[in-house]
Amino acid sequence: MCLTIPAKVVGLREKGQKAVVEQLGVRREVFNNVINAEKGEFVLVQQGFIVERIEEEEAKETWRILNENQKNTP
């Protein structure tokens, strides 16, 4: 089973073939040639590829749950 954490596209490179995404404050470069996401969109990344667009509300709710769980973990 895999856990995919939402990310926000904060930049595009190589004519949009790669994207810079931010996940919980961490930025990384991923491949954008499957979905062709645009800057500002919220996405799911699997093994270095953007695989799905999601709504901003869904991303924020997932981040909230992850942060809450982290606070409650000893």
Per-residue pLDDT tens digits for 19-65: 999 998 899 999 999 999 999 999 999 999 999 999 999 999 999 99
Range of the domain at 57: 6-71
Q: Say if 39 falls within a structural domain.
A: yes
Q: Say if 1 falls within a structural domain.
A: no
- Per the structure, how many domains does the chain have? 1
Q: What is the CATH number of the domain that holds 39?
A: 2.30.30.140
Q: Say if 12 falls within a structural domain.
A: yes
Looking at residue 1, what is its pLDDT?
64
Looking at residue 20, what is its pLDDT?
98
Q: Say if 47 falls within a structural domain.
A: yes
Looking at residue 57, what is its pLDDT?
97
Sequence-ordered list of residues with C-beta below 8 angstroms from that of 42, at least 6 positions apart, any chain: 6, 7, 8, 9, 53, 54, 55, 56, 58, 59
CA distances to 41, 42, 53, 65 from 30, in Å: 14, 13, 14, 24
